[in-house]
Homo-oligomer: A and B are copies of this chain.
């Protein structure tokens, strides 16, 4: 156990480094040259342009107004001053609710900390280890953790629930439903089949549908065209600046080999060629849609469609009901936001999905408990002898003493580090294989996996010695109470370790987040070497986004630590509170100024957050029971069993009470909105508005015409109302601005 002095040193180092990061950030963000690194959100919103202040060239890059340096910490009040409703408007509901997780942390831990310091610390300080008193105080705290925490989170969930309902209005996807597993029909194409099914079964509400294209080939062509177009603009600019000399390029690899040709002419011709090919591709896709029953390529068939309804009520009904007596076909769900759709997973049949999930859960089990085995194997290979064998020409270098010791000290760690860096990607790939249809659900699923990994390998791994697999073996072969006892006993001894962890990961790490060192360096590198056109500069700007899949499990780890140590070592609590407060501020700033979310899921992650906080609470209660039973307090231990039971009950109660706000759209609300809209906008042409909402990203941005088949259903005799409409829909303008970002 580290002494108080060790902790002090560690605290000093971390606080200093955090402070250094903050100062660096405060100075760097004032320089106009870094403007696109620290305020990209505003650029993307079109509110802020490139710095064009008149004056000396130097003031374009360095801020000469020294007065501003004195107020270098004023980003903090600025970050806190924006009201929540405005954040929702500015950055989306997801971001606003994500910040609320930190607020929830503060709401839970500030009262606990105060109470712990009023009650527990004096008792420990005076050294009275009288069982009776301890027992009494413990149960006081128990009351706290039962009654206070849930009621806090309860209120919070209620708030978020209402918040979500009132804010989700702005999203348009209320009219649309995603239909998966459309069964094959021998006589009809998928499009016809969908049309007929919904005309028959939702005759009064069905409006139109959009089939899903397998546009992978087209997507490749579009990317290529974009690249060529960029070169063309570059050479045109060059030519404009220097009209005397026509720029030339080589036709080979990277413009370095091959025949030298006139650059502008070459790229113009190439783009034309590609455009032709793309049109062929479109008619191919169109043919696939039209005649997919005769096509031989099974991959071209995507038995899914986005169905739009005339009213929100009709869409709500369709999304919540079962369509066919076979519950594995005609599966309906709320259509995710267009940007949120994960197009590749729309075509997986039910049985395959079921098998994939089984395999992935087995895979996850092995990943969590046996991940050390391949790493140890790599480590055993990557020793000095191995390297010398494979790369004998490095022998003289390696044999130098400094290099040798460096490799020996560093290599084993590197394999693990690389694995940990790759882990989120691995988990995301696993989630993709499981076949979820939206990016947001993929992220939620990955977060779940990552949370389990952290719980087993970081939390339990730090407390109990040995690998996760050894713990598992212990868990199976020991009495279940024995395991909680073992952990319960070692927990107090690990408090200082976790304090240091919080300071490194939670304090300095968050401060590093706001400094954005990697994007800063990358931006300037790109700006110097790669940026050829204004569009390139736009693309070199990397606003990043809130990465739910990795940050949420990290927050949950702090929740877990706080709840576990709230009774055992309350001294740890202030560290947690500082983490939550600091993160709250930093992420509020980042959400306002930096991050640009790729999609909007209407805070669908909140029930997951809630469930994991509750899980943390139950773990804390069980460990407390384990610790108590070793102190010979068997009686009070068996009374404590009521705690997890009540917590689980509370969780189920909350689930029943609030969860549906995130999953379902009640008919009453739908009807109210429908009626309201009919009254306020009687001439709204819904068809125009919804027609192009779910177009595969490659058809966005006007570079490609959508296949004609999409409009074809308008002439269907089954649909009564028929209106021709202009292409520029309200929705397009909402999502079109995103097309340039990715």
Chain A residues packing against B (C-beta within 8 Å): 165, 197, 200-202, 204, 313, 316-317, 320-325, 327-328, 330, 350-351, 354, 358, 362, 476-482, 645, 649, 652-653, 656-661, 664-669, 671
Known pairs A320-B322, A327-B664, A351-B653. 14 more at Cβ < 8 A?
A201-B668, A320-B321, A321-B321, A322-B664, A322-B667, A324-B666, A325-B666, A327-B657, A327-B660, A327-B661, A354-B649, A354-B653, A354-B656, A358-B645
CA distance A671 to B664 in the complex (A): 23
Please name all residues of chain B whose beta carbon is closer than 8 Å to the beta carbon of A656 when the two chains form the complex.
327-328, 350, 354
A–B complex contacts, Cβ < 8 Å, 19 sampled = A165-B325, A197-B668, A201-B313, A201-B671, A204-B204, A321-B666, A322-B664, A322-B666, A323-B666, A323-B667, A325-B666, A327-B658, A327-B661, A327-B664, A350-B657, A354-B649, A358-B645, A476-B480, A479-B480
Question: In the complex, how many angstroms separate the beta carbon of A13 from the nearest chain B beta carbon?
Answer: 44
Please name all residues of chain B whose beta carbon is closer than 8 Å to the beta carbon of A481 when the two chains form the complex.
476-477
Nearest neighbor of A365 in chain B, beta-carbon distance: B645
Please name all residues of chain B whose beta carbon is closer than 8 Å to the beta carbon of A652 when the two chains form the complex.
354
Question: In the complex, how many angstroms separate the beta carbon of A162 from the nearest chain B beta carbon?
Answer: 9
Please name all residues of chain B whose beta carbon is closer than 8 Å to the beta carbon of A317 when the two chains form the complex.
317, 321
Please name all residues of chain B whose beta carbon is closer than 8 Å to the beta carbon of A316 when the two chains form the complex.
321
Please name all residues of chain B whose beta carbon is closer than 8 Å to the beta carbon of A659 when the two chains form the complex.
327
Question: Interface on chain A toward B: helix, strand, loop, or mixed SS?
Answer: helix
CB <8 Å contact, A358 and B649: yes
Please name all residues of chain B whose beta carbon is closer than 8 Å to the beta carbon of A649 when the two chains form the complex.
354, 358
Question: In the complex, how many angstroms separate the beta carbon of A317 from the nearest chain B beta carbon?
Answer: 5
| With contact pairs A354-B653, A354-B656 given, residues A668 and B325 touching in the complex (Cβ less than 8 Å) | yes
Which of the listed residues A320, A658, A664, A667 has the most CB atoms from chain B within 10 Å of its own CB?
A: A667
Closest 4 CB pairs of A and B: A327-B660, A320-B321, A322-B664, A322-B666
CB <8 Å contact, B668 and A323: yes
CB <8 Å contact, B354 and A200: no
Please name all residues of chain B whose beta carbon is closer than 8 Å to the beta carbon of A313 when the two chains form the complex.
201
CB <8 Å contact, B325 and A200: no
CA distance A316 to B201 in the complex (A): 12
Nearest neighbor of A645 in chain B, beta-carbon distance: B362
CA distance A660 to B326 in the complex (A): 9
Question: In the complex, how many angstroms separate the beta carbon of A322 from the nearest chain B beta carbon?
Answer: 5
Nearest neighbor of A325 in chain B, beta-carbon distance: B666
CA distance A325 to B165 in the complex (A): 8
CB <8 Å contact, A325 and B204: no
Please name all residues of chain B whose beta carbon is closer than 8 Å to the beta carbon of A330 when the two chains form the complex.
668
CB <8 Å contact, A322 and B645: no
Question: In the complex, how many angstroms separate the beta carbon of A201 from the nearest chain B beta carbon?
Answer: 5
CA distance A652 to B659 in the complex (A): 22
Nearest neighbor of A659 in chain B, beta-carbon distance: B327
CA distance A80 to B620 in the complex (A): 60
Please name all residues of chain B whose beta carbon is closer than 8 Å to the beta carbon of A321 when the two chains form the complex.
316-317, 320-321, 664, 666-667
Question: In the complex, how many angstroms separate the beta carbon of A679 from the nearest chain B beta carbon?
Answer: 14
Question: In the complex, how many angstroms separate the beta carbon of A434 from the nearest chain B beta carbon?
Answer: 14
CA distance A313 to B323 in the complex (A): 11
Please name all residues of chain B whose beta carbon is closer than 8 Å to the beta carbon of A479 when the two chains form the complex.
476-480, 482
CA distance A144 to B165 in the complex (A): 52
CB <8 Å contact, A661 and B350: no
Question: In the complex, how many angstroms separate the beta carbon of A28 from the nearest chain B beta carbon?
Answer: 46
CB <8 Å contact, B480 and A325: no
CB <8 Å contact, A324 and B204: no
Question: In the complex, how many angstroms separate the beta carbon of A200 from the nearest chain B beta carbon?
Answer: 6
CA distance A482 to B476 in the complex (A): 9
| With contact pairs A204-B204, A350-B656, A481-B477 given, residues A324 and B358 touching in the complex (Cβ less than 8 Å) | no
Please name all residues of chain B whose beta carbon is closer than 8 Å to the beta carbon of A476 when the two chains form the complex.
479-481
CB <8 Å contact, B477 and A325: no
CB <8 Å contact, B328 and A657: yes
Please name all residues of chain B whose beta carbon is closer than 8 Å to the beta carbon of A165 when the two chains form the complex.
325
Question: In the complex, how many angstroms separate the beta carbon of A180 from the nearest chain B beta carbon?
Answer: 14
Nearest neighbor of A646 in chain B, beta-carbon distance: B358
Please name all residues of chain B whose beta carbon is closer than 8 Å to the beta carbon of A322 when the two chains form the complex.
320, 660, 664-667
